[in-house]
């Protein structure tokens, strides 16, 4: 059976809670980490249906984690969440296959986008 786990990597506890509620509202299971390093140490990449990744994290930044995941051939959709980013970051994120989500975001729209990306991944599996 395909995974329905959506991983959230964000150092802001309030944002992690909001994103977890959005994920649950569309019938998926959230799993949250406060840093890229905690995600790397614990996450099973094979069980991830989608990743919600903060751009600005303490330690390893979101783009650096995204680059590592691409080099490790991770095969799940990634939403890079950013309150502020420059054109270079946005371009790099798109090159790596991520979708940029600006803050503030519309919770219903984001929920629909997450569910759609998971469904596309499932259909391709």
Looking up residue 74, the CATH number of its domain turns out to be 3.40.50.2300
Q: Which has more confidence, 124 or 38?
A: 38
Specify the pLDDT at position 2.
Answer: 54
Q: What is the chain's mean pLDDT, rounded?
A: 92
Task: Give the domain range for residue 98.
Answer: 5-124
Residue 20 is predicted with a pLDDT of 98
Number of folded domains in the chain?
A: 1
Closest CA to 67 of 49, 92, 104, 31: 92
| 104 preceded by a cis bond (ω within 30 of 0) | yes
- pLDDT at 86 (0 to 100): 79
* pLDDT for the residue numbered 80: 96
The better pLDDT of the pair 123, 95 is held by 95
């Amino acid at each position: 059976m395909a995974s329905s786990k959506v991983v959230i990597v964000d150092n802001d506890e309030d944002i992690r809670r909001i994103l977890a509620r959005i994920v649950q509202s569309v019938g998926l299971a959230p799993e949250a980490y406060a840093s890229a390093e905690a995600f790397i140490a614990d996450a099973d990449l094979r069980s991830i249906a989608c990743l919600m990744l903060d751009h600005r994290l303490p330690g390893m930044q979101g783009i650096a984690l995204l680059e590592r995941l691409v080099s490790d051939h991770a095969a799940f959709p990634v939403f890079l969440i950013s309150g502020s980013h420059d054109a270079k970051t946005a371009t790099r994120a798109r090159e790596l296959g991520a979708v940029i989500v600006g803050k503030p975001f519309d919770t219903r729209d984001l929920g629909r986008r997450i569910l759609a990306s998971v469904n596309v991944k499932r259909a391709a599996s």
